[in-house]
Amino acid sequence: MPFSHILGQDTALGTIERALRTGRVHHAYRFEGPPGVGKELAAVALAQALVCTAGDPLGCGRCDACRRAAARSAGRPASPLHPDVQIVAKNFYPAAVIGRSRDELTEISVDQIRSIVLAHAAYPPHEGRARVFIVRDAEDLSVGAANALLKTLEEPRQGTHFILLTSRGDRLLNTIRSRTLPVRFAPLSEPIVRGVLRDRGVPEERHDLAVELAAGSASTALELADDEQTASRDAFVKSVLTAAAARDLGPAVAFAESMDRDKGALKDYLRALGAALAREARAAVAADPRSAGLAARRYAAVSRAVVHLERNASPGLAMASLIAELRGAG
Ligand SMILES: [Zn+2]
pLDDT tens digit sequence for 14-43: 999 999 999 999 999 999 999 999 999 999
Per-residue 3-state assignment (H helix, E strand, C coil) for the chain:
CHHHHCCCCHHHHHHHHHHHHCCCCCCEEEEECCCCCCHHHHHHHHHHHHHCCCCCCCCCCCCHHHHHHHCECCCCCCCECCCCEEEECCCCCCHHHHCCCCCCCCCECHHHHHHHHHHHHCCCCCCCCCEEEEECCHHHECHHHHHHHHHHHHCCCCCEEEEEEECCHHHCCHHHHHCCEEEECCCCCHHHHHHHHHHCCCCHHHHHHHHHHHCCCHHHHHHHHCHHHHHHHHHHHHHHHHHHHCCCCHHHHHHHHHCCCCHHHHHHHHHHHHHHHHHHHHHHCCCCHHHHHHHHHHHHHHHHHHHHHHCCCCHHHHHHHHHHHHHHHC
> Ligand 1 centroid vs 157 CA: distance in angstroms?
23
> Ligand 1 centroid vs 58 CA: distance in angstroms?
8
Which structural domain, as residue segments, surrounds residue 65? 2-186
Shared domain for 78 and 177, answered yes or no, is yes
pLDDT of residue 210: 86
> Ligand 1 centroid vs 9 CA: distance in angstroms?
22
Query: Residue 1's pLDDT band (boundaries 50, 70, 90)?
Result: confident
Shared domain for 207 and 238, answered yes or no, is no
Shared domain for 169 and 311, answered yes or no, is no
Is the pLDDT at 293 greater than 90? The verdict is no
CA distance 59 to 130: 13
pLDDT of residue 192: 95
In this prediction, residues 124-140 reach a mean pLDDT of 94
pLDDT of residue 83: 96
- HSE at residue 208, side-chain half, CA atoms within 13 A, is 6
User: Which residue(s) pair with 166 in the sheet?
Assistant: 32
Taken as a whole, the chain contains a residue count of 330
> Ligand 1 centroid vs 133 CA: distance in angstroms?
18
Shared domain for 181 and 195, answered yes or no, is no
134-138, 211-215, 265-269, 322-326, range with the lowest pLDDT: 265-269
Query: Residue 294's pLDDT band (boundaries 50, 70, 90)?
Result: confident
> Ligand 1 centroid vs 53 CA: distance in angstroms?
5
> Ligand 1 centroid vs 84 CA: distance in angstroms?
14
Query: Residue 330's pLDDT band (boundaries 50, 70, 90)?
Result: low
CA distance 255 to 270: 14
pLDDT of residue 48: 97
Handedness of CA 23, 29, 32, 35 (dihedral sign): positive
Query: Residue 236's pLDDT band (boundaries 50, 70, 90)?
Result: confident
pLDDT digits (tens, 9 = 90+) for 164-222: 999 999 999 999 999 999 999 999 999 999 999 999 999 998 898 888 888 899 988 99
Query: Residue 287's pLDDT band (boundaries 50, 70, 90)?
Result: confident
> Ligand 1 centroid vs 127 CA: distance in angstroms?
13
> Ligand 1 centroid vs 68 CA: distance in angstroms?
10
pLDDT of residue 157: 93
Shared domain for 181 and 194, answered yes or no, is no
Is the pLDDT at 61 greater than 90? The verdict is yes
Shared domain for 37 and 134, answered yes or no, is yes
Residues 6+ apart with CB under 8 A from 147: 110, 175
> Ligand 1 centroid vs 52 CA: distance in angstroms?
4
CA distance 295 to 291: 6
Shared domain for 161 and 204, answered yes or no, is no
Pair 30, 181: CB distance under 8 Å = yes
Shared domain for 82 and 151, answered yes or no, is yes
> Ligand 1 centroid vs 5 CA: distance in angstroms?
15
User: Which residue(s) pair with 164 in the sheet?
Assistant: 30, 135
Total domains in the chain come to: 3
> Ligand 1 centroid vs 65 CA: distance in angstroms?
6
Q: What is the residue-averaged pLDDT of the chain? A: 90
> Ligand 1 centroid vs 97 CA: distance in angstroms?
30
Query: Residue 228's pLDDT band (boundaries 50, 70, 90)?
Result: confident
Shared domain for 214 and 252, answered yes or no, is no
Shared domain for 16 and 153, answered yes or no, is yes
Shared domain for 36 and 168, answered yes or no, is yes
Give percent of the chain with pLDDT exceeding 70: 97
> Ligand 1 centroid vs 113 CA: distance in angstroms?
28
CA distance 145 to 114: 8
> Ligand 1 centroid vs 85 CA: distance in angstroms?
14
pLDDT of residue 77: 94
Q: 309 or 99, which is more confident? A: 99
Shared domain for 234 and 100, answered yes or no, is no
- HSE at residue 23, side-chain half, CA atoms within 13 A, is 2
